[in-house]
């Protein structure tokens, strides 16, 4: 049983709650869970829940049907996001942890850290103490190995996670590691769980090779009950009769555990299969099943590894896996997490980097529309759930907020995979020359039919949405010719309108809206039907905008700082034969791939056009800068809109 305490509870009331529960046979454990102070009442005591809920200082009482109360989603309905330094595990991000099975030398861990960081890993793994089946196998370098690993993590801006094998070592290791790992063999080492939990650091808890899901969650309960607030569950395969792989990945455990518990779930595909060639397919399957991240074994020279070489990926294989995950992430409604590297900041070619602070106030991000809008979902993918954000009335208002400094960045859509470019926002870049692009991401658009509880398809007479929502759901809407359309500036506003008109009882049983599931959740309405878009390959490309200084665009640190591989330009050309061809020839000659070319009329100059261009930035030094310099000599009104990391 869980008691959630009122904010600002008086010490006397807190003491009386303790006495009340202890007198009735309960053992008391009090701790902070997210933003809530809670008391866990454990034992076989008997109490009247209604009477308990009336005690001063008790906000609510949650009696669970599960033996794991702190872990259960019944007592904490929102997903927990575990923070480890700059890394957030859970929510809308996919976090990837990588490194060798064991730290073998300072050179080895430094090389591995550099390679996995370059590919996109955000945390470094590695064993300093290795519990091995054979007493003659390599047992790790101990504290010296942990010191090497800590140095590598600091050098490349990655928190580290390492296995702890005894309560005594937990105390010695606590200042050198950012996250403890409880290995599969120690999942039910209850004294270790209690000691590690009491230290309060984040913990990665692996499932035992023969453990049931309930036993796994009860082990997590030990950690939370002992004091830590941050536990990540790791599925790493269980022992079955199969012999072709090292273990059998219980992929069904991912959705099952996420329905039972609020804790994030990641997967260790390396131990799940034990065969290098099978790691990547299993890793992608885990992401498709809803995993919040992966922990992957990577070694610069797996054939020479002292531990688990056959299941360790080569750095090149890991890089391909990360690219595949980046492509898969939008399909499952997530984004691959990127974090800043120490001392890294990127700008337009030839320009110095500058701090990326908003001009005034606390850093917040602007988007157009109501809460629950697709733009807000894109914002959350880019900056995280906790990012302060402000909703404004229009795309232009987003640009205004970024320009005047009331927002440090903004999120605007520029292109849809089915209906093409959003020309209004391309035109706004010309009106706001101090605004540039610093990032992009692609969001899968899943439209839902949303209405009040009790509304049926037969009772609906009016449908509200943005015109794009109607266009993208045409086949579904054709089945209901009696419905009338009412257009709104964005889909979330259409949903909000239903709530705001509830003053007339029963009147809105005739009204529904087309929007995303997030909007239905935000306004407390029901999804009558999901996935009503005509084409499921429906993606919108959003760009992150920020203030620029000349050609230079500062990169908000929350977007990460991977080296840009894409740039956006806009220019006009002289009115003479071959002008556009000359520009395209420059790009071809320098080996620069052109991914988008679109013309827009120049206002006030009939039959004159601006060309919007997206190009790749090659890895070769100097080629891109030379191409930009050459383009400026062949064009008019040239503007560099920004360089950023492409979203696959």
Active site residues: 540, 542
β-strands 409-416, 539-547: how paired? antiparallel
Tell which residue, 391, 395, 396, has the closest CA to residue 413: 395
Tell which residue, 337, 362, 320, has the closest CA to residue 561: 337
The alpha carbons of the chain give a radius of gyration, in whole angstroms, of 27
**SS3 at position 541:** strand
Tell which residue, 441, 511, 443, 446, has the closest CA to residue 472: 446
Eight-class DSSP state of 344: -
Residue with tokens 């919108």: 540
Q: Where are the beta strands (DSSP E) in 265-326?
A: 265-267, 293-297
Residue 35 neighbours by CB under 8 Å, 6+ apart: none
Count helices and strands in the chain by DSSP H and E runs:
20, 30
Instruction: Give bridge partners of residue 261 from the DSSP assignment.
Output: 72
Alpha-carbon dihedral angle through residues 277, 281, 283, 287, given to the nearest 10 degrees: 170
What strands, in cross-sheet order, belong to the sheet with 594-601?
594-601, 609-616, 566-572, 636-644
Structure tokens at 256: 């099952």
- Separation between Cα atoms, residue 538 and residue 445, nearest integer Å: 5
Residue 193 neighbours by CB under 8 Å, 6+ apart: 182, 219, 222, 223, 226
**What 3 state SS string does 453-512 have?**
CCCCCCCCCEEEECHHHHHHCHHHHCCCCCCEEEECCCHHHHHHHHHHCCCCCCHHHHEE
Structure tokens at 62: 């949650």
- Separation between Cα atoms, residue 587 and residue 594, nearest integer Å: 8
Structure tokens at 242: 């199969």
Contacts 24+ apart (CB under 8 A), 158-161: 158/113, 158/117, 158/121, 158/122, 158/123, 158/124, 158/339, 159/84, 159/85, 159/86, 159/87, 159/123, 159/124, 160/123, 160/124, 160/125, 160/126, 161/84, 161/97, 161/123, 161/124, 161/125, 161/204, 161/295
User: How many other β-carbons are positioned within 10 Å of the β-carbon of residue 480?
Assistant: 13
């Amino acid at each position: 049983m869980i008691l959630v305490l009122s904010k600002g509870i008086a010490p006397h009331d807190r003491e009386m709650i303790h006495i009340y529960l202890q007198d009735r046979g309960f053992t008391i454990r009090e701790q902070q869970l997210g933003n809530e102070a809670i008391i866990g009442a454990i034992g076989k005591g008997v109490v009247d829940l209604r009477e308990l809920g009336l005690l001063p200082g008790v906000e609510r009482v949650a009696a669970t049907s599960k033996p794991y109360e702190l872990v259960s989603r019944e007592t904490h309905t929102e997903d927990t996001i575990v923070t480890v330094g700059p890394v957030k595990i859970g929510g809308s991000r996919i976090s990837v942890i990588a490194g060798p099975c064991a730290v073998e030398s300072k050179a080895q861990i430094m090389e591995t850290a550099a390679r996995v960081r370059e590919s996109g890993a955000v945390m470094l793994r590695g064993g300093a103490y290795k519990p091995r089946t054979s007493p003659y196998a390599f047992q790790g370098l101990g504290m010296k190995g942990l010191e090497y690993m800590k140095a590598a993590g600091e050098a490349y801006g990655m928190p580290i996670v390492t296995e702890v094998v005894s309560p005594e070592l937990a105390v010695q290791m606590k200042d050198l590691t950012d996250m403890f790992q409880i290995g599969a063999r120690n999942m039910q080492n209850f004294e270790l769980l209690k000691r590690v939990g009491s230290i309060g650091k984040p913990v990665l808890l692996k499932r035992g090779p023969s453990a049931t899901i309930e036993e796994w969650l009860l082990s997590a309960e030990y950690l939370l009950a002992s004091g830590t607030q941050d536990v990540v569950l790791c599925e790493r395969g269980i022992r079955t009769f199969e012999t072709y792989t090292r273990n059998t990945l219980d992929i069904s455990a991912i959705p099952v555990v996420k329905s039972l518990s609020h804790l994030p779930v990641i997967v260790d595909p390396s131990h799940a299969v034990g065969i290098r060639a099978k790691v990547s397919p299993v890793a992608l399957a885990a992401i498709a099943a809803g995993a919040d991240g992966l922990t992957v074994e990577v070694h610069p020279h797996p054939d020479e590894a002292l531990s688990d070489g056959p299941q360790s990926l080569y750095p090149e294989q890991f890089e391909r896996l990360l690219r595949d995950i980046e492509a898969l992430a939008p399909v499952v409604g997530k984004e691959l997490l990127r974090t800043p590297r120490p001392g890294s900041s990127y700008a337009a070619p030839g320009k110095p980097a500058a701090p990326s602070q908003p001009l005034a106030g606390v850093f917040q991000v602007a988007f157009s529309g109501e809460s629950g809008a697709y733009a807000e979902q894109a914002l959350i993918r880019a900056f995280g759930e906790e990012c302060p954000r402000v909703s404004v009335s229009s795309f232009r208002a987003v640009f205004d907020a970024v320009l005047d400094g009331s927002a440090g960045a903004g999120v605007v859509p520029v292109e849809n995979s089915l209906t093409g470019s959003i020309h209004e926002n391309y035109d706004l870049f010309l009106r706001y020359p101090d605004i540039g692009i610093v990032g992009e991401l692609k969001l899968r658009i899943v439209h839902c039919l949303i209405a009040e509880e009790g509304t049926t398809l037969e009772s609906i007479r009016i449908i509200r949405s943005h015109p794009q929502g109607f266009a993208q759901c045409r086949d579904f809407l054709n089945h209901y010719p009696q419905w009338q359309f009412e257009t709104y500036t964005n889909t979330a506003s259409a949903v909000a309108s239903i709530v705001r008109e509830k003053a007339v009882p029963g009147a809105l049983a005739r009204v529904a809206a087309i929007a995303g599931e997030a909007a239905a959740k935000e306004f407390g309405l029901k999804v009558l039907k999901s996935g009503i878009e005509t084409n499921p390959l429906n993606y919108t490309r959003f760009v992150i905008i920020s203030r620029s200084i000349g050609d230079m665009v500062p990169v908000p640190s929350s977007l990460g700082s991977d080296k840009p591989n894409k740039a956006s330009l806009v220019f006009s050309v002289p009115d003479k034969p071959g002008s556009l061809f000359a520009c395209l020839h420059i790009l071809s000659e320098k080996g620069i791939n052109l991914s988008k070319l679109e013309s827009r009329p120049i206002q006030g100059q009939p039959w004159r056009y601006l060309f919007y261009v997206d190009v790749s930035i090659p890895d070769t030094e100097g080629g891109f800068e030379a191409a930009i310099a050459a383009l400026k000599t062949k064009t008019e009104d040239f503007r560099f809109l920004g360089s950023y990391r492409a979203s696959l």
